[in-house]
Structure 1
Amino acid sequence: MSEHFLVTGGNRLEGEVLVGGAKNSVLKLMAAALLAEGTTVVTNCPDILDVPLMADVLRGLGCEVELEDSEVRITTPAEPKYHADFDAVKQFRASVCVLGPLVARCRRAVVALPGGDAIGSRPLDMHQSGLRLLGARSEIEHGCVVAEADDLHGANIRLVFPSVGATENILMAAVLARGETVIDNAAREPEIVDLCNMLNEMGAKVSGGGSSTLTIQGVRKLEPTTHRVIGDRIVAATWGVAASITRGDVRVRGVNHKHLGLVLDKLRTAGAEVTPEVDGFRVIQRERPKAVNFATLPYPGFPTDLQPMAIGLAAVAEGTSMITENVFESRFRFVEEMIRLGADARTDGHHAVIRGVPVLSSAPVWSSDIRAGAGLVLAGLVADGTTEVHDIFHIDRGYPRFVENLRGLGGVIERVGTE
């Protein structure tokens, strides 16, 4: 039995939506619990499929994990297992973030190569080279990344690209390494800052979070903590774009609007009234959106995770937009599905040119990843008739209570099971 969405277009979204914890943060925070013996509690966890998957990964490593409402309790043993070669690891990309903590705690790790979204090449070269500079040996063997070290020591590490995953793994290995580690050209995402804050609460000595240089003074031992996950800026921005694309009025709560500075500026350029608020922001779009150019870049640039939403907005905007994808080369697979919906779009290399049309036309479409799925639903909201969105398990991996939240804003969506 598989499921798909039936999305009926034509309704203006109005109301308020509460955003939960960030998917791109919670899974890394759960992995960080491996760094300390005892019980670590992570609160404000989103109700998404990847959280129980990560819980399964941690259980396979010897942890006891309890999931209750929006809280995860992780009890890590004195000697965690180091071999993460099981089905859960292969189902989502973030599972690789156990690599750094395992090398730090066990001095050895065997982690099956991760799965996840089909959005392009995401090799582990920088993860491995960083661990090698810290004193580990690392190779790819039999479908697993293998790392082991007699001792970990501080190092000066410069990333060739500000990779979020590589920054996280190297950071989590370095907190228990001997001496000082400096990571240059580190990722600057708010989720990295969230991880740095949690590690410091556990007794680590990390400075520079949010800048391109992280400095870590290694410590001998970390202690468990209780930490609240930051709000999900990608989910929040999705609802903001949904307001703009449907000419709606939506208040988004539970997120720091400062984490979305460029995104909200783009919505203003499209003609929306955007008002920052204490715990979120409000988007009102009174007329047809205007064409806007987007170029994805690492934070604080425009997020690649919002590229499908940008294309959906451009598809019904007045004028011609150019979308440039600078992070994941295969993310434009989404454009093929938008063309099914009547979008006037063409791609050339890492550019897409979108000529806006007044309304899209309903059709069956297929999600290739989490964000593409959400983007297709948004497009369905401004299509005539009812759009079928298939492979929605992707959406469930990143958007908690997606149907309930969309219906609460006045959207017409139904989850349907099929053989």
Structure 2
Amino acid sequence: MQKFVITGGRRLCGELALQGSKNSSLPIMAAALLCCGDCTLHSCPKLTDVYAAARILNCVGCKCSFEGNTAVINSENIGSTEISEELMREMRSSIIFMGAMLGRAGECTVSVPGGCELGPRPIDMHLAALRKMGVDIRESGGSIICKAPSGRAKGAKISLAFPSVGATENIILCAVTADGETVINNAAREPEICDLCGFLRSCGADISGDGESRIIINGKHQLHGCEYTIMPDRIVCATYLSMVAATKGELILTNACVPETEPFLSVLEQTGCSIYTSEKKIYLRSGSRLRAVRDRIRTMPHPGFPTDAQAVLMAALCVADGTSVFEENIFDCRYRHTDAFVKMGADIQVLGKVAVIKGREKLHGANVEATDLRGGAAMVIAALCAEGSSEISRICHIDRGYEKMEEAVGLFGGDMRRV
């Protein structure tokens, strides 16, 4: 099993073009199921989760191929509407194939998805919404069997109890070919929802309101293929900004989605970093020890502070001057990375959904194990700040969301090896 070996204590400086967004790529790849003709996706990141999505597409009869960061998906011939439990458990967001398959074939058989262990992430909202759209759903032996009796889901008015990204995506994917109009109230407003809707509009879908809390979809009988460029990854952006800020370095990020990253940038600026932005570029200079963030950092649905950026910013604040407080409001079990930080010498107290970080002058190297995708990336940041050598195992979690992170760190002048 591979691991990262990191020697910390170096000031990181450099320039990097951001990869395409994982959280956009996966639902867009699922959406390709709805299309007749080729879908060509540019800026598709080379990640294990993306390859898992490709395996799901191939197993139901699609043709999915990659050349560099371009994926070509042809869904002309769907030979199966069943996705095996083995494939579903390869990634947590595999549940979005339920809505896409219903939209394409009017039926599907899936299982509960796998991925990071972030505590319960129930799909009750997904199932309740699809039932409102006329889909019969039953569970048998761990499988979820879905069927629209008329062969096509029906438009409906759906009000979500919480602006769930996954539920919003599943409803959209089912609704774009449903019979009639679907209205989603309290819809998720994340930029990746807008990217999915942008792709679907390029395929002929009738969608409006994405980016707001009310999305309206008028179903079409059929969608066509298109050529589309996936948005940059705002969480990878937050990760590298936190990494370089923590090491008192300097960074230029190109291919950046600046407005979408603003909820994170506005917090990072409070640490004393100098941050300058242009249309698709972010420049950061640290140069001295970070300051703690005075206001409590509360994770919230977009446009609030993103839960996926909580761990990476916390890693940087472990070496800040003063005390910072996080409040995690999205997922349970999202502080599992704190044990690794403490092992490296950090001063952290966790009580329920609150974590209090008292910054230390220095951390020290340690052998730790990645617990999940963002927690694993945060451990890399802590190791790069630390004196001495660290080893991070179970890096399969990190590879789910970052293209060869060790190469990016090497570009910045860091010492990080995959062994």
The TM-score range, normalised by the shorter chain, is over 0.9
How far the C-alpha of 1:80 sits from its partner, in A, is 4.4
In the other structure, the counterpart of 1:354 is: 357
In the other structure, the counterpart of 2:246 is: 245
Give 1:314's match in structure 2, choosing from 306, 313, 317. 317
In the other structure, the counterpart of 2:108 is: 109
What is the CA RMSD across the aligned residues, in angstroms?
1.0
Counterpart-to-counterpart distance in 1, 2:310 and 2:234: 14
Query: What's the CA shift string for 1:146-185, capped at 9, x where partnerless?
Result: 2111232111101111111110000010011111110011
Counterpart-to-counterpart distance in 1, 2:300 and 2:412: 30
In the other structure, the counterpart of 2:223 is: 222
Q: What amino acid does structure 2 have at the position aligned with 1:388?
A: E
Counterpart-to-counterpart distance in 2, 1:299 and 1:167: 13
| Equivalent runs, 1:319-330 vs 2, <5 Å | 319-330=322-333
Equivalent position SS for 1:105 = helix
**Range with greater deviation from structure 2 (139-148 or 342-351):** 139-148
| Equivalent runs, 1:55-204 vs 2, <5 Å | 55-151=54-150, 152-204=153-205
Equivalenced residues, count: 415
Counterpart-to-counterpart distance in 1, 2:79 and 2:156: 25
Counterpart-to-counterpart distance in 2, 1:139 and 1:358: 56
Kept in 2: contact 1:8–1:384 (CA 8 A): yes
Kept in 1: contact 2:159–2:186 (CA 8 A): yes
How far the C-alpha of 1:144 sits from its partner, in A, is 2.0
Kept in 1: contact 2:191–2:260 (CA 8 A): yes
Equivalent position SS for 2:236 = helix
For the pair 1:33 / 2:36, whether they are aligned, the reply is no
Q: What amino acid does structure 2 have at the position aligned with 1:251?
A: I
Counterpart-to-counterpart distance in 2, 1:104 and 1:25: 19
Counterpart-to-counterpart distance in 2, 1:81 and 1:254: 38
Counterpart-to-counterpart distance in 2, 1:247 and 1:362: 18
How far the C-alpha of 1:127 sits from its partner, in A, is 0.7
Identical positions, percent? 38
How far the C-alpha of 1:79 sits from its partner, in A, is 4.0
Kept in 2: contact 1:204–1:222 (CA 8 A): yes
In the other structure, the counterpart of 1:6 is: 5
Kept in 2: contact 1:323–1:352 (CA 8 A): yes
Give 2:418's match in structure 1, choosing from 403, 415, 418. 415
Segments of 5+ residues of structure 2 without an aligned counterpart are none
Equivalent position SS for 2:329 = coil
Q: What amino acid does structure 2 have at the position aligned with 1:217?
A: N
Counterpart-to-counterpart distance in 2, 1:338 and 1:388: 13
Q: What amino acid does structure 1 have at the position aligned with 2:137?
A: S
Query: What's the CA shift string for 1:288-325, capped at 9, x where partnerless?
Result: 11111311111111111111112112211100111110
Equivalent position SS for 2:5 = strand
In the other structure, the counterpart of 2:208 is: 207
In the other structure, the counterpart of 2:18 is: 19
How far the C-alpha of 1:352 sits from its partner, in A, is 0.4
In the other structure, the counterpart of 2:48 is: 49
In the other structure, the counterpart of 2:385 is: 382
TM-score (normalised: structure 1): 0.97
Give 1:391's match in structure 2, choosing from 391, 394, 406. 394
In the other structure, the counterpart of 1:406 is: 409
Counterpart-to-counterpart distance in 2, 1:295 and 1:124: 24
Equivalent position SS for 2:244 = helix
TM-score (normalised: structure 2): 0.97
Q: What amino acid does structure 1 have at the position aligned with 2:232?
A: G
Kept in 1: contact 2:61–2:77 (CA 8 A): no
How far the C-alpha of 1:78 sits from its partner, in A, is 4.1
How far the C-alpha of 1:101 sits from its partner, in A, is 1.2
**Range with greater deviation from structure 2 (195-204 or 75-84):** 75-84
Q: What amino acid does structure 2 have at the position aligned with 1:277?
A: S
In the other structure, the counterpart of 1:262 is: 263
Counterpart-to-counterpart distance in 2, 1:373 and 1:403: 13
Equivalent position SS for 1:100 = helix
